[in-house]
Structure 1
Amino acid sequence: MKARFQLLIKGAGVCLLSLFLIQNQNYGQSTYGQISGWVLEQKKGAPIPAANVVVSGTVFGAASNDRGYFVISHLDPGTYRVICSAIGFKKQTKVIQVDAGQITEVTFRLQQTVIPMNQFVVTASKYRQDVNEIPVTIDIITTHDLVKRNAVTIDQVLKHVPGVQAVGNNISIRGSSGFTWGVGSRILVLLDGMPFLTGDTGSITLDALPTAQIQQVEVMKGAGSALYGSNAMGGVVNIITRTPSSGKSSLRVRSYTGFYDQPSYPQWRWSSRRRHFEGLTVDCLTNFLNVSSIISFNLKSDMSFKENADFRKWNVAGIFRFSLTPNNYWNVISGYLKSDDGSFIFWRDCNHALRVGNEPEDIFTRTYTTYFYLYPVMTQILSSRFFYRLRLRFTRAHSEDHAHARPGYHPQLLGIYRQSTADTYGGELQFNYQYSPETNIVFGFDGHKNDVSSIQYGYHRLGRFSVYFQNEKELFHGFKLTTGFRWDWEWGSDIATMSQFNPK
């Protein structure tokens, strides 16, 4: 099975290189069309700046300038559905014919409304769609929500989404997972469409993602295994990062601090110290050598009001964007987290509700974690209807559980008693093709390998390779037919090769 996997990877690499060379050889020789026009108010005819004009089902789009003017170039001849939206205005959709070597002019006249602007999502079908046109339930956490709630971590906002329970790095959607500890989850967490789970326990490390680098979080409720695999049986949480701007450089520094009040009941008071928390965030947006970037540094410390629930964490993360050709661009996401956490899982009893109950009387556990991730993403536009996206990923998660003696005790078990290091290598090659304004086809390959070394269980290796296909067609207004499948193969050092077919 390993040899077959390597052969598939080599074949996909040859096809990818061939597509890249053919496209760049033909670039400049093909004749494209162009859409340009104006975005105006319906009544007064005043220009609307910063309106979004998107070619549905493609990666093409533009924003109107101060005069309401926009231009979308490099479109192949054909018929397209173009969507125009702006904050405070009703969305408008037009079907536009583009001819070779011609500029098609169009004017959007938007009607004012108190209803918020329609949002776009990519999680439902792996391509950009209006949230009102998708066949599944999705809630969206926007940048405004993160700022309004003064969120330091993503879970602080996820717990306010209806049907979602978030306790630290544990997420459950509609009760699909419950509370799990070290045994994975039925909720698939993605970072720009790529799995963001550790290779050993399948846990989620939300602390490694600075909120300043998040554009929106899409929470898909319901099974998504036909497109994302068995890890998405309970739902999908897709974290979409911001696109670095090529404008002026900027620096933002934010800090916070606070104190915990004493518990209401005297028997719950386990510490005489004033418990406090604090944090520091530094965000730098810059553009150097045609590479746009967002670099963030975060430092967090919390003494907690519960025994052995305190933590100290710091992380640095960056998003880098650059283009090699007009039809090829890269996004590189990387970060590093280091943390020192207590281990409060459940309370002792009703009279000691804030004392840790999952630890013996003579020791307490500290967990030391380091986490590194690197996610390069390359998008190659072959035509205005056809593009592919190569996503690569590497993560390393290392954790150690240390036993420390409580004051006045001399236990025999001290030092490291649990340790695990997990390396994950993976990649995905996704193709998007818009056959017509009503038909979108998505297909691709996904594979990864986990190497896990643990002092309890030794060395283990697990691999997975997947093929998926989806065809979505709008039969008539308000009615879509979606068909597809996903086929997964899995093998490991201690398990027999198995496969699973998920139709849709």
Structure 2
Amino acid sequence: MRHLIFIISIISTSIYAQEITGIVYSNGEPLPYTNIYLKNTSKGTSADENGHFRIKNVEPGKYTIIASFTGFKSATKKIHIKEQPIAVTFELQESEMLDEVVITGTLKAVSRLESPVPVEVYSPIFLKKNPTPNIFEALQNVNGVRPQINCNVCNTGDIHINGLEGPYTLVLIDGMPIVSGLSTVYGLSGIPNSLIEQIEIVKGPASSLYGSEAVGGLINIITKLPEHAPIVFADSYVTGWGEYNLDLGFKASVSPKTSLLFGINYFNYNNPIDNNNDNFTDLTLQNRISVFQKWDFQRESNRLFSIAGRFFYEDRWGGEMQWTPEYRGGNEIYGESIYTKRYELLGKYQLPVSEKMLLQFSYTDHNQNSVYGDMPYLATQRIGFTQLTWDKSLNNHDLLLGTAARYNFYDDNTPATVHADEIIIPSLFIQDEINFSERQNLLVGARYDYDKRHGNIFTPRIAYKFKPTKDNIFRVNAGTGFRVVNLFTEEHAALTGARDVIIKDELKPERSYNINFNYLTKLYTKSGFIFGLDASAWYTYFTNMISPDYDTNPNQIIYDNLDGKAVSKGISFNIDTLFPNGIKLLAGATFQDVSQTEHGITQKQMLTESFTGTWAATYKNYKYHILIDYTGNLYGPMRLPLLGDLDPRLPESPVWSIQNIQFTYDGLNQFEIYAGIKNLLNWTPNKGNPFIIARAHDPFDENVEFDNNGDVIPTQENPYALTFDPSYVYGPNQGRRLFFGLRYTLN
């Protein structure tokens, strides 16, 4: 009887099952190879070369059918299948992929296409292609941007843009400069990816709007408005090395006019690994928690008012494998232990006046308790920032006027900081964007800062945009940048365990002069091929550049204003391509020459690659709900800091690459399962080198002999005349590992 019922049910299903047919258009032309699928089912197909599609054996019922094609806006229709076949027609519109709203380049919310300043935009989808525990690591797949690890032991680092070192990069959250030299890596850690609306990157000086530190470029992390965030989200993954990362959050309506966005990031790695057999941890052990919340208040006339805050705490250590906290600060077992506690507050308030005036503010308190071997580094940094802008349109002029004030407090226990550094820097700035026509506009701007240590600082800029067609844009930007330097950031202090920091003279502010050419285009074909190109060429000239000298004395880092010039020049290309078979490719390449000339001698800047390549290839099989992401980067040679002529380590890094692959299944309602392999090639910097950390067996230099000038004497025990030095680093020591994760999103 059971078999009879089963046979009858199969026959009845085959009788009543129907098919869905249709065609997909775009701009009146058939759109081939579009993905068509029924939501929450395994039924799906792809359109043929003429845009036609057919889904067979669909049981009667109500469905949601979706047409999706990368580069176009997805279309959704409700259908009800009864006893007759059904035909569906879709008309897909080109997506606004090049038309994202950006604010970084001009301090205004404008279309990326209309901005006279080129801005690169990266969404949370980009971050998901290679899941990382922080944004710092995620930027490794952005062309022209490189996370630089500055210490083999503690793994702290900074962000290089177009070959310029981390102190030249300004990091902002929601437009507020809450991060500076002491804490770049911490400002880019602990923000759950699900809370990020987008990441905006400007390459080149932006000091005319953002002041000191925005010399090489800036990174602006835009967090979501509560109304745009999911109701609940969770994302957690583990790796084969024992790393564990958790992002968790929710949004809530506290009252009819008040909404809250809350997120927690927790990261833990507590599994010492020494694959290169130097008795030092290959990866710093970490225990980190970050709590973020953002309050949004509804006001009359939709005026803005939001406040956000974040608390960050981290305990990290690296060192000899047998190190435990009881050895912290001693000279028996070498370890670098860092306790970091950080508070951040930022907000924006639109004044209740008829004019468009916006008050923004931020405050950070950063406390660091670190030891490097037996050398303590205790530092406190407080930064307060407030800014008032007036946005005014007059005929074809779009004006922005503003005033800002920045409060800096810095103190540490190093001999160079005899007194705490405390200063207030007031600023004025003005910007005028002149719209000559729909095709061209001109932006002129200037900023004035007063620093009592250095006097008046003036930074002008000019930008011209020409748009001959809707899909072709030419931009020219020129301007100046400046940077007031505080050398004693964590990364430099981390090296004092091996090298002394020497300041020869009173340091003057750095100045730079920059010009940038940019071309942006997009091409669509009837065959379904889409091609986008973003190309740039730049030239930056530095005066008064402050450069670390590793070469004069291997036991010292000598800082002084360069008696000469420094130049950064190069070209970069980003392509965004969609093939008819559904494969999407984001790829970029940068070729650069960053050099310094002093006393007639020109040499390449230390730790600066000559070329970079990045890629992210994606393929989505809609029928089986499988997404494949293949990401990677490629770096050219860079000059490395050796300890002398006898140092046997490579003077230049080889060409190296880190590649990753990820598989994601999203066929479950509200859940995504993902897994993959990081560092497929198992590349680490010790390959081809006799060692990475110099004298890892003698971290306190107990068996090193010096002459009367303080230079190391070669001995039988120390034939290369080395001291303990963990600063020879240009890439991560972490090899191949598997990862597995689960995401949950309730919208």
Aligned to 1:397: 366
- Greater shift after overlay, 277-286 or 303-312? 303-312
Amino acid at match of 1:142: S
The whole-number CA distance in structure 1 between the counterparts of 2:201 and 2:409 is: 29
Aligned to 1:217: 199
1:149, distance to aligned residue in structure 2 (A): 2.7
Aligned to 1:323: 298
Describe the shift of the 1:462–1:325 C-alpha distance in structure 2 as closer, same or farther (beyond 3 A). same
- Greater shift after overlay, 425-434 or 128-137? 128-137
The whole-number CA distance in structure 2 between the counterparts of 1:127 and 1:166 is: 28
Alignment partner of 1:228 is 2:210: yes
The whole-number CA distance in structure 1 between the counterparts of 2:104 and 2:410 is: 29
Unaligned runs of 5+ in 2: 1-25, 30-69, 75-90, 150-156, 275-279, 321-329, 462-747
Given that residues 198 and 397 in structure 1 are in contact (C-alpha distance below 8 angstroms), is that contact kept between their aligned partners in structure 2? Answer: no
Aligned counterparts, 1:403-418, within 5 A: 413=374, 417-418=376-377
The whole-number CA distance in structure 2 between the counterparts of 1:216 and 1:201 is: 21
Describe the shift of the 1:216–1:333 C-alpha distance in structure 2 as closer, same or farther (beyond 3 A). same
Describe the shift of the 1:254–1:503 C-alpha distance in structure 2 as closer, same or farther (beyond 3 A). closer
Q: 2:251 aligns with which of 285, 307, 324?
A: 285
Q: 1:335 aligns with which of 292, 305, 310?
A: 310
Aligned to 1:499: 456
Alignment partner of 1:453 is 2:441: no
1:194, distance to aligned residue in structure 2 (A): 0.8
Describe the shift of the 1:115–1:227 C-alpha distance in structure 2 as closer, same or farther (beyond 3 A). closer
Q: 1:444 aligns with which of 383, 391, 402?
A: 402
Given that residues 106 and 117 in structure 2 are in contact (C-alpha distance below 8 angstroms), is that contact kept between their aligned partners in structure 1? Answer: no
1:280, distance to aligned residue in structure 2 (A): 2.0
1:364, distance to aligned residue in structure 2 (A): 1.3
The whole-number CA distance in structure 1 between the counterparts of 2:186 and 2:261 is: 23
- TM-score, with structure 1 as normaliser: 0.64
Describe the shift of the 1:423–1:296 C-alpha distance in structure 2 as closer, same or farther (beyond 3 A). same
Percent identity reads 21
Aligned to 1:376: 347
Describe the shift of the 1:147–1:379 C-alpha distance in structure 2 as closer, same or farther (beyond 3 A). farther
Unaligned runs of 5+ in 1: 1-40, 45-85, 91-109, 261-275, 348-358, 405-412
The whole-number CA distance in structure 2 between the counterparts of 1:134 and 1:153 is: 29
SS of aligned partner of 1:476: coil
Aligned to 1:162: 143
Alignment partner of 1:149 is 2:149: no
1:203, distance to aligned residue in structure 2 (A): 6.6
SS of aligned partner of 2:189: helix
Describe the shift of the 1:118–1:324 C-alpha distance in structure 2 as closer, same or farther (beyond 3 A). closer
Q: Deviations over 1:263-308 (max 9, x none)?
A: xxxxxxxxxxxxx111222111111123211111111012464644
Aligned to 2:93: 112
Given that residues 98 and 112 in structure 2 are in contact (C-alpha distance below 8 angstroms), is that contact kept between their aligned partners in structure 1? Answer: no
Describe the shift of the 1:42–1:370 C-alpha distance in structure 2 as closer, same or farther (beyond 3 A). same
The whole-number CA distance in structure 2 between the counterparts of 1:201 and 1:157 is: 17
1:452, distance to aligned residue in structure 2 (A): 2.3
SS of aligned partner of 1:133: coil
Given that residues 145 and 159 in structure 2 are in contact (C-alpha distance below 8 angstroms), is that contact kept between their aligned partners in structure 1? Answer: yes
The whole-number CA distance in structure 2 between the counterparts of 1:331 and 1:250 is: 19
Q: Deviations over 1:17-76 (max 9, x none)?
A: xxxxxxxxxxxxxxxxxxxxxxxx9769xxxxxxxxxxxxxxxxxxxxxxxxxxxxxxxx
SS of aligned partner of 1:444: strand
1:473, distance to aligned residue in structure 2 (A): 0.9
- Greater shift after overlay, 313-322 or 113-122? 113-122
1:89, distance to aligned residue in structure 2 (A): 5.7
SS of aligned partner of 1:171: strand
1:122, distance to aligned residue in structure 2 (A): 0.8
1:213, distance to aligned residue in structure 2 (A): 1.5
SS of aligned partner of 1:465: strand
Aligned to 2:499: none
The whole-number CA distance in structure 2 between the counterparts of 1:317 and 1:114 is: 32
1:164, distance to aligned residue in structure 2 (A): 0.8
The whole-number CA distance in structure 1 between the counterparts of 2:174 and 2:362 is: 11
The whole-number CA distance in structure 2 between the counterparts of 1:111 and 1:137 is: 28
The whole-number CA distance in structure 2 between the counterparts of 1:161 and 1:200 is: 23
1:139, distance to aligned residue in structure 2 (A): 1.3
Q: 1:483 aligns with which of 444, 463, 478?
A: 444
Q: 1:175 aligns with which of 163, 166, 172?
A: 163
Given that residues 433 and 442 in structure 1 are in contact (C-alpha distance below 8 angstroms), is that contact kept between their aligned partners in structure 2? Answer: yes
Describe the shift of the 1:234–1:325 C-alpha distance in structure 2 as closer, same or farther (beyond 3 A). same
The whole-number CA distance in structure 1 between the counterparts of 2:119 and 2:331 is: 43
Amino acid at match of 1:298: N
SS of aligned partner of 2:133: coil
1:111, distance to aligned residue in structure 2 (A): 7.3
The whole-number CA distance in structure 2 between the counterparts of 1:325 and 1:111 is: 37
Amino acid at match of 1:368: Y
Q: 1:366 aligns with which of 337, 343, 347?
A: 337
Aligned to 2:231: 250
**RMSD of aligned residue pairs (Cα, Å):** 3.1
- Greater shift after overlay, 115-124 or 126-135? 115-124
1:214, distance to aligned residue in structure 2 (A): 0.9
Describe the shift of the 1:447–1:203 C-alpha distance in structure 2 as closer, same or farther (beyond 3 A). farther
1:114, distance to aligned residue in structure 2 (A): 6.7
1:371, distance to aligned residue in structure 2 (A): 0.6
The whole-number CA distance in structure 2 between the counterparts of 1:115 and 1:329 is: 25
Aligned to 1:191: 173
The whole-number CA distance in structure 1 between the counterparts of 2:186 and 2:407 is: 17
Given that residues 401 and 430 in structure 2 are in contact (C-alpha distance below 8 angstroms), is that contact kept between their aligned partners in structure 1? Answer: yes
Amino acid at match of 2:455: M
Describe the shift of the 1:246–1:259 C-alpha distance in structure 2 as closer, same or farther (beyond 3 A). closer
Aligned to 2:592: none
The whole-number CA distance in structure 1 between the counterparts of 2:335 and 2:253 is: 47
Aligned to 1:265: none
The whole-number CA distance in structure 2 between the counterparts of 1:114 and 1:136 is: 22
SS of aligned partner of 1:127: coil
Aligned to 1:74: none
1:449, distance to aligned residue in structure 2 (A): 1.0
The whole-number CA distance in structure 2 between the counterparts of 1:113 and 1:284 is: 32
Describe the shift of the 1:327–1:138 C-alpha distance in structure 2 as closer, same or farther (beyond 3 A). closer
Q: Deviations over 1:408-442 (max 9, x none)?
A: xxxxx4xx711011222221111111224x43111
Aligned to 2:103: 122
Instruction: With a CA cutoff of 8 Å and minimum separation of 6, indicate the structure with the bigger relative contact order.
Output: 2
The whole-number CA distance in structure 2 between the counterparts of 1:292 and 1:470 is: 34
Amino acid at match of 1:286: A
1:342, distance to aligned residue in structure 2 (A): 2.6
Amino acid at match of 2:215: M
